């Protein structure tokens, strides 16, 4: 009897939870919450419905878990990019380039930001989704604010500048890059657009190093 129990406990799992969650996220990312049937998620994860329910709960619970996983991953990525003592221009540029790489992923084409692509629609009717979106936005603002405050303390930004206001601009740029990536703009163009904002912030609000005419050509 003891031998049988040990064998049962030692039996390997039939699926990897992290891989299954990522596969479910990929399915939602392509079709949205409402447009992604559970049968498709089952096919993508290789798990039948009873196994999905046992592991993650119903479809809504699974979707919420993918949102939480995405937010945690994005936060780690941005925090890593911004969390250094290098000049703020370098760290901000690196954070945007990491985001651009993230937004351009997808087997069927650039998918942009998971929150913007899926949660923005669901947040109207789902309070928990709305809460996750709001918390994620506030967290991104905070990460940028901390980076700008540290840069200001090092003398890299003028004292009259407001780190929180700069953070709102930086967050808005991240959202714009996500939308532009999903709309099909290429990596080089996205990087140029991000660099123009980095130059503007790094210059303390003065004229960026890129000309206005050149910037107009970039965003067309």
Which domains, from first to last, does the chain contain? 68-219 (1.10.357.10)
Residue 220 near residue 194, CB atoms below 8 Å: no
- What is the C-alpha separation between 87 and 166, in angstroms, rounded? 16
Query: The pTM is what?
Result: 0.81
pLDDT band of 204, cuts 50, 70, 90:
low
CA 77, 182, 24: angle at the middle one, nearest 5?
65
Residue 157: alpha-carbon gap to chain centroid: 27
Residue 204 near residue 161, CB atoms below 8 Å: yes
User: Is 56 a residue whose pLDDT tops 70?
Assistant: yes
User: Is 209 a residue whose pLDDT tops 60?
Assistant: no
Share of the chain above pLDDT 90, in %: 68
**Average pLDDT value for residue range 17-35:** 92
- What is the C-alpha separation between 77 and 71, in angstroms, rounded? 10
**Average pLDDT value for residue range 10-26:** 77
Q: What are the pLDDT digits (tens) for 127-158?
A: 999 999 999 999 999 999 999 999 999 999 99
User: What average pLDDT does the structure give for the chain?
Assistant: 86
Share of the chain above pLDDT 70, in %: 86
**Average pLDDT value for residue range 152-180:** 95
User: Is 214 a residue whose pLDDT tops 90?
Assistant: no
């Amino acid at each position: 009897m003891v031998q049988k129990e040990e064998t049962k406990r030692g039996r390997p799992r039939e699926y990897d939870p992290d891989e299954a969650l990522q596969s479910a996220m990929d399915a939602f990312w392509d079709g949205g919450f409402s447009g992604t049937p559970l049968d498709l998620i089952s096919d993508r994860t290789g798990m039948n419905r009873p196994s999905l329910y046992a592991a993650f709960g119903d479809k809504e619970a699974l979707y919420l878990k993918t949102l939480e996983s995405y937010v945690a991953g994005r936060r780690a990525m941005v925090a890593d990019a911004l969390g250094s003592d290098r000049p703020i221009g370098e760290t901000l540029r690196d954070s945007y380039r990491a985001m651009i790489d993230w937004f351009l992923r997808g087997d069927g084409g650039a998918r942009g930001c998971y929150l913007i692509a899926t949660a923005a629609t669901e947040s109207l009717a789902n309070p928990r989704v709305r809460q996750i979106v709001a918390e994620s936005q506030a967290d991104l603002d905070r990460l940028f604010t901390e980076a700008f405050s540290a840069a200001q303390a090092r003398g890299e930004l003028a004292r009259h500048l407001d780190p929180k206001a700069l953070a709102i601009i930086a967050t808005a740029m991240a959202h714009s890059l996500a939308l532009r990536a999903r709309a099909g703009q290429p990596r080089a163009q996205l990087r140029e657009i991000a660099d123009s904002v980095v130059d503007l912030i790094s210059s303390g609000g003065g004229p960026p190093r890129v000309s206005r005419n050149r910037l107009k050509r970039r965003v067309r």
